[in-house]
Structure 1
Amino acid sequence: MSRPVTLFTGQWADMPLAELAPLAKEMGFDGLELACWGDHMDVEKAAKSKKYCKDKLELLASHGLQCHAISAHLAGQLVCDLNNDGRSDMFAPPELAGDAEGQRKWAVKTMKNTAKAAANMGVSVVNGFTGSSIWHMIYSFPPASEEMIENGFKQFAKLWNPIFDVFDKVGVKFALEVHPTEIAFDIVTARRALAAVKNRKAFGFNFDPSHLEWQGVDPVKFLKAFPDRIYHVHMKDCSVTLDGESSILGSHLNFGTPGRGWDFRSVGRGDVNFEDIIRTLNAQNYDGPLSVEWEDAMMDRVHGATESCAFTKQVDFPKSDRVFDEAFDN
């Protein structure tokens, strides 16, 4: 049986869930990966009220949709970030604007509640970000010492281990979307992040090949490096568009700007080799959802999400239970 194809609702949070659900079904999706913003998932309510969760699930079910994961990228980002400029204010309650530590405390509490919300929703995975106190040191000038970098991983463990304790208690796992600006953004830093929390099972990865591809990291090698830590999969594509003038770092150009060195693409229209990814997931017995995170700044989103859903269903296939020439034994 092929895996369910879901839609991550983060890029659709401007639409009420009651409007998005029938649209998602019309676009061909089997379910939704609910973002914990907009009106899609209120973790404070979901952590306390099973009725709230029941109502969400019934809304989805009324449109023939399932829910396999919820996602808390925004709150998660503020756990380890420096929270020292106005960008963090966008993710926290307005009364905490400019209060770096207040935002951090709110984020830690919210991530603990997200674990409880997931349990009440009957899902076993929360996807999200961790933030990073050392991302700004990615290029070592002014020089960053090894002690500074190590302290960043220690802070990650200090702040997230109490959160993971709650995840363990309620039987839910946290899947980091390995991504620039997070404590893990490639294979090397993902290994280091796992080591920082002593490889505890509550912590794994939401595999998103697009964030690896443009960095020059082989997505299939990532899967093979962490076969037992792939807790969820995003289907997202990107294309490197270097022209000799722009940088792979993006040149401070917004997505979709002509001349930008790389950009996200509707699934199947970029550089990611999804055929090899599906074969590797099959070899590793991953049977969770394939969740489309649709981002293409130059395409209508309904058109793009619809074609991405169709592409994902076409490229996915179940694992064989035999080698083809075993039929000759009969």
Structure 2
Amino acid sequence: MKLSICTDVMGGLPFIQMLDKCVALGVEGVEMTGGGWSPAPHFRAGELLADGALLKSKLKEIEARGLHIAALNCSANPLDPGEMGKRHRKEMEDTIRLAGAIGVKTVVTMSGLPEAAPGDMVPNWLVYTKSWPDEMPERDRYQWEERAFPLWHDLVRLADEVGVAKYALENFSAMLVWNPETLFRLRNAVGPKVGMNLDPSHLMWMGADPIASARALGNAIHHCHGKDTRIERGRADVDGLLELREVTDVANRTWNYVAVGAGHDLQWWKEFFSVVRMQGYDGWVSLEMEDFTMSVEAGIQSSVDALKATISR
């Protein structure tokens, strides 16, 4: 495995300074965003597709520092029923086309989340039982069969056209694909080009064991994020893990995203990466640092140190 970093955490730095920071940290690759919810500060897909000279110059700067592009990322909701969905789908397609143009084989993204019925204008994450109310089975069928499957058949065809080998869908909440079971529901319908960006931090707060999830996923692991979560003692015992507070309200939340090692110790992380490697994944591990309990600098450095000590080389 090789270590990279999701560069949005350094979004305040200009492109060249960001690359120099990556070299100083000792990471081997960069995962940069092309659009979607991210402002894509370093590698906006639409801009680079329209300006070949700018793209060439950025690729030259990456290569000059001995860095590699681990993946392109476009975290987005292309199934949103409003204008955002249209914009996100275009930016996802731009990111896919850019990846194909520069030979990047993996695009990290999200499955999307549609409305629950025709005419609705708000995405609806249906995670309550299908047993009640009576309309639930039809809402579930509509979201998958009429909205998600057609989109992903189209995106698989696009990937084939431009030479992208893999989609890695992050198991993020409020998405149709948020755990191994939902990943396989989509993968079985549209093919093995769709796999998971295994991000253990989300599975942790959902109550799953990411090590068991890795075993269940097997060769459907297409990418991996290094990101930790801490369940906050006392608060989670009272209120449970369905947390609605802002991510910056760290003192009052029942769980928080934290620097790698601040939620699960290094022995846990060694086992996690060992099992991921056992399943046949020997690609990039990208640090995604979203710890609001400490400074960005401290969070990045401690996470890099922890990942260097635990990923399976």
Q: TM-score normalised to the size of structure 2?
A: 0.86
- Pair 1:124 & 2:117 matched: no
- C-alpha distance 316-226 of structure 1, shift in aligned 2 (>3 A): same
* Equivalent residue, structure 2, for 1:167: 159
Residue of structure 2 aligned with 1:60, choices 59, 62, 79: 62
Tell me, yes or no, if the aligned pair for 2:219 and 2:281 is still in contact at 8 Å: no
CA displacement at 1:258 relative to structure 2: 1.4
* Equivalent residue, structure 1, for 2:127: 138
Between the aligned partners of 2:245 and 2:288, the Cα distance in structure 1 is 23
Aligned ranges for residues 233-312 of structure 1 at < 5 Å? 233-243=224-234, 244-271=237-264, 273-312=268-307
CA displacement at 1:108 relative to structure 2: 2.3
Between the aligned partners of 1:103 and 1:81, the Cα distance in structure 2 is 6
Between the aligned partners of 1:203 and 1:275, the Cα distance in structure 2 is 26
Tell me, yes or no, if the aligned pair for 1:235 and 1:291 is still in contact at 8 Å: yes
CA displacement at 1:293 relative to structure 2: 0.4
Find the residue that maps to 2:68 and give its secondary structure: coil
Between the aligned partners of 2:210 and 2:142, the Cα distance in structure 1 is 28
Deviation track 1:155-186 (CA, whole Å, cap 9, x = no partner) reads 11112221221111122121100110111112
Between the aligned partners of 1:182 and 1:47, the Cα distance in structure 2 is 28
What stretches of structure 1 move > 6 A for 4+ residues in a row? none
Pairwise CA RMSD of aligned residues?
2.1
Tell me, yes or no, if the aligned pair for 1:47 and 1:114 is still in contact at 8 Å: no
- Pair 1:194 & 2:179 matched: no
Mean CA deviation greater in 31-40 or 176-185: 31-40
Find the residue that maps to 2:203 and give its secondary structure: helix
Find the residue that maps to 2:88 and give its secondary structure: helix
For 2:100, the aligned partner's letter is A
Between the aligned partners of 1:270 and 1:308, the Cα distance in structure 2 is 11
* Equivalent residue, structure 2, for 1:26: 24
Find the residue that maps to 2:222 and give its secondary structure: strand
CA displacement at 1:48 relative to structure 2: 5.0
CA displacement at 1:127 relative to structure 2: 0.4
- Aligned residue pairs, count: 293
CA displacement at 1:238 relative to structure 2: 0.4
CA displacement at 1:42 relative to structure 2: 1.8
Instruction: Tell me the percent identity.
Output: 25
* Equivalent residue, structure 1, for 2:203: 212
Tell me, yes or no, if the aligned pair for 1:111 and 1:163 is still in contact at 8 Å: no
Q: Could you say which structure has the larger radius of gyration?
A: 1
For 1:237, the aligned partner's letter is D
CA displacement at 1:303 relative to structure 2: 1.7
Q: TM-score normalised to the size of structure 1?
A: 0.82
